[in-house]
Chains A and B, each alone.
Chain A
Amino acid sequence: MAYNIYLCGVGGQGIGLLATVLAQAAYRSGLDVAACDTHGLAQRGGVVASHIRLGADALTPLVPEGGADLVLALERLEALRGAALYLKPGGRVIYYDTAYQPVSVRRGQASYPGADEIEKELAYLRGIVVRVAVEGIADPRMQNAALLGRLAALNVVPGLGAGMIEEVLKEMVAPVALEENLKIFRSAR
C-alpha cells in the first residue's frame, strides 16, 4: 500500500517548498514518488494543496479523499479541512498553528475554528494530532521549516529519515535564508 501525504495551506504560505523538500527527500531515499502541486488561481489566498504518494502501488499523484496517512497543514482552518476531507481513520495530522481568516469569517458569516475542533475531528477519526507553533519566527514563510522540523523529528514517514530531509532543505533554500531556516527546522525537532 502507498503511503499518502496530503499537504495543505493558504495560497502564499510557501507550501511549494515544503512539498518539494519532502518529495525530493523521499526520492533520494530510494522511495517511489508520485506527487502533484496546486498552481494557478488558488494561489491567490485560496486553499492550496499538494499531494505526495510513496510506494510502487501509487501510479497516480492525487491522494484519494479519506486516504491520507498524514495531513500536513500550514494553517489551522486548513488543518481541519484537510483532516475532514482527506485523513484516513487512524491517520496523523501535523499542523502549524497560525490563523488566516477567510472572507466569510471577516464578514461575520462564519466562525473560525479553535484548536479544540481539530482535536474533536481527530478523536472522531481515531487519529493523532500534533500542533506546531514556534515563537519568534520573523518571516512567516519560514513556518514551513518548523513544520518540516517536527515532521522529521517524529519520524513518521516510512523510509524517510530526518537527516535526508535536512540535507535536501539545505540545497533547496536560498543561501541568504538558509541559516534562519535551519535554526527553525532544528528548534522544532
Chain B
Amino acid sequence: MLSLTGLMTEKDGFSALVMGNHALARAMAEAGTRVITSYPGSPTPEIAEALGAVPEKQRGYYFEFAVNEKVALEIAAGAALNGHPAAVFFKSVGLNVAADSLIQLSMMELPGGMVVILGDDPGANSSQNEQDNRHFARMAYMPVFEPATPAEIYVMYKEAAALALARRAPVFLRLTTHVCHARGAVNFGALQAAAPDWSPRFDVKNGPYVPITAAVFPLKQRALEKLDAWAQYGERSALNSFYEAAPAGARRGAIASGLPALCLLEAVRAAGAPVDVLKLGLTYPLPAKLVADFLASHEKVYILEELDRVMETEIKALAFDRGLGCRLHVRQGHAELMGEMTVARAHAALGAVWPELFPAQEIKARPAPAARLPQMCPGCGHRSAFHAIKKALPPGAITVGDIGCHSLGFLPPYNMGTVLFSMGHSVSTAAGLALNNGSRKVAAFVGDSTFFHAGLPGLINAAARDSDITLVLLDNGTTAMTGHQPRPGNGELGERINIPELLKNLGVKFLRECDAYEQEKLSAHLKEAMDHKGFAVVIARHPCMLKFMRDRRRANPGLKPQQVAVDQAKCARHYACAAEFACPSFSRHADGSVTVNAELCIGDGSCMQTCPAQAIERKKDGV
C-alpha cells in the first residue's frame, strides 16, 4: 500500500509500512471521527496530507485547517457538543494558543467525545522550545495516551476515540516528533460501513455548559470524577505493558513511557541486563496500583523520562505515600532535561547508577565539517526583502522577528529579527520596545499566515495607540514553512482578503507596499516608514517561490528553468551576491571566483540588482 489515497480508502483490513502521522489519519477514518481540525505545525502536518488524499465527496469526515489552534479546537469542540466524534491536532506550542478554551473542555459533557492530538517536539527540531505538554494534562484534568510507534498510534487513537465517545470526554493523544515521523508496520482494520449521521444533537440537558461563578463547582466535580474513572481504566489497560527480563525475578526495574520506553527496552536488551521494564501507554492519571506493585516487587527502580520530571515527581510521591522502600533512581542534572531520549542516552543514564550492567560506551567524537544551517530558498522574496531592509535601517535599530520561514532572517548574513517569542508576537513586542524610546527605532516582521493566526490583535492595538514602530508584512500568500497549507483569504481558501484594505479599516494610516524583489523601492518605503512618527506598515509581497516552482514542475515535468550566470570578465569579486545577498545558488571557489550552481538556480533574477559590477546576467536558454 504505497499511495495515501489507497491507505485511506481501502475498505478491508491490511498491513503496511507507514509513517505515524499517516497511521493516525487511517485510524481516524476507521474510528468514524467526523470532524477533524488543525493549524499546521511540525511534526503534525502529514496527518492532513493523508486526510486530504481522499476525494472530498468520499470522505466520512469534515477536515479543515483553521486560522489558528484555538479556532481549530473550538470548531472540533462545537462538533463534539453536537454529538459528532471530533479530533484536533497541532504542534506543541499550538496548545498555548488553544489553552483558553481547552482548559474548559473537561468540565463539559461532549457527546461526540474529542481527541486532542499534540505534536510535542523534544529536541526542538522545528519549534521555539521543547515544552512538555504533559503538564497541561494536570491542569486540564485530561488523560494522556502516549504511543511509541506508528502501530501504537493506530491502536491508541482508536481506543482513545472510543473511550472519549463513551465517556463524553476530551482526551490527549501525545505524540512526539520521532513518533509522528517514524515509519513502522501497522495492521489496519476495516473502514466503517455506516454512513455518517450528521443530525445536530446539541442539548442543554447534557450541560450545563455555562460555568460561571458557583456553577463551576458541579462541573469541576464531574471532571474530577471522570479523572478517577480514567485512573481505574489505566490500572487494567493493555496499553501499559510489562517486559520481564530473563531469567525472571530481576531485582532491578525501570519505568518509562512512549518512545523513551522503547529506547530503554532496547538498551536493556542490548546490554543483556537483568532489568524489568514497565512501559506506560496511559501516563496520566498515573496507574497508581500498577506502578506501586512494580516498585514493591523490585529493590531498585530507575524512572527514565524525556524532558521534565513529570512522572518522576508523581512516582516519588506515590512511593512516599505508600511507604515503599524501593530505591528510586532518577536522571541527574540540567542536561538530562534537554533533548530527546535515545538508546545511547538510556544506556548512559542507567550506567550512571548501574555501571556493572551498563558499561560506558565510548564513541570517539570526530571533527565535524562546516555547519549547514537552514536558509531561505533560491528566489525567496524574504531574502530580497531583508537585503533591502538592512540597507535602509537607521543605526541602532531593533528588529523583532516572528514565526515562519522569515524567522531564518536572524541568521547571518542578514541578522534581521533578533527577538522571537511566539506566533504573532512581533507587533506588540516591538510596541513595548518602542515605549519612551527616543533613540532607537523599532521594526517588526510578520508573515501573512502568522498575521492572521495571532498577529491581528497586536496590530489593532498598535494602530489604535499609534505605536511608534514599523511593521513589515512579508506576504508570500501561503503557510510556507509547514508545507504550503492555504491561509484564509488567499483565494485558494475563501474569498480573497484585500490585506491593504483590511489594514486601512483597522486604522492603519501609514501604509506602503511593493513586490519584495523591488529592492530600491522597498528600501525607500522602509526609510520613510522609520522616519514616520507613529505606526507604519510596509507590505513586501512575493509568492513563495518553492511552491511556485513545484507547481510549475508538476505541470511541466521536463521544465528547465531560466538561470542566471556570473560574467567572469565583469566580476570584481565584491561577493555581494554570495556573501551578503547569500542566495544558495552561488558557489564561491578556492580561487576566489563565484559561479552559479545550475542545480539550484531558478532564474528569478532577484540577485541581479545586488551586484555592484552588474556581472550577473540572464542566460539565454530556459523558460
Contact = CB atoms under 8 A, between A and B. Distances in A.
Q: Do A and B bind each other?
A: yes
A103 B581 CA distance: 10
A84 B368 CA distance: 7
Given A85-B366, A107-B579, A46 B262 contact: no
A61 B178 contact: yes
B17 A24 contact: yes
Interface in A31-47: 32-47
B582 A106 contact: yes
A59 B374 contact: no
Interface residues of A, number: 64
A102 B578 contact: no
Contacts of A62: 178, 342-343
A168 B16 CA distance: 13
Interface in B534-567: 546, 557-558, 560
B584 interface: yes
A108 B587 contact: no
Interface stretch (B51-59, B179-187, B285-293, B611-619): B179-187
A35 B22 CA distance: 14
A41 B41 CA distance: 10
- Chain B CB within 10 A, most for which of A32, A103, A110: A103
Contacts of B369: 77, 80-81, 84, 113, 117
Nearest to A44: B374
A102 B371 contact: yes
Interface in A70-107: 77-78, 80-81, 84-85, 98-107
A33 B266 contact: no
B344 interface: yes
B499 interface: no
A10 interface: yes
Contacts of B530: none
Taking residues whose C-beta sits less than 8 angstroms from the other chain, chain B's interface range is 35 or more
A133 interface: no
Contact of B42 (A41, A117, A140, A174): A41
B582 A177 contact: no
Given A85-B366, A107-B579, A108-B588, A38 B374 contact: no
B46 A39 contact: yes
B148 to A, nearest CB: 8
Interface in B324-377: 342-344, 363-364, 366-377
Contacts of B597: 99-101
Nearest to B263: A60
Contacts of A57: 266, 269-270
Contacts of B422: none
Contacts of A37: 19, 181, 183
Interface in B258-282: 259, 262-263, 265-266, 269-270
B42 A40 contact: yes
A36 B183 contact: yes
A64 interface: yes
A29 B81 CA distance: 47
Given A38-B125, A66-B363, A106 B588 contact: yes
B117 interface: no
A142 to B, nearest CB: 11
Nearest to B380: A44
A87 to B, nearest CB: 9
A79 to B, nearest CB: 10
Contact of A44 (B344, B366, B377, B582): B377
A77 B265 CA distance: 35
Contacts of A44: 374-377, 405, 408, 481
Contacts of B149: 34
A81 B184 contact: no
Interface string A167-179: 0100110101100
28 contacts: A36-B182, A38-B125, A39-B42, A39-B45, A40-B177, A41-B125, A46-B373, A59-B263, A59-B266, A60-B266, A60-B343, A61-B178, A64-B342, A77-B369, A78-B372, A81-B368, A99-B597, A100-B600, A102-B372, A102-B373, A103-B411, A106-B575, A106-B586, A111-B370, A117-B369, A138-B560, A140-B599, A176-B557
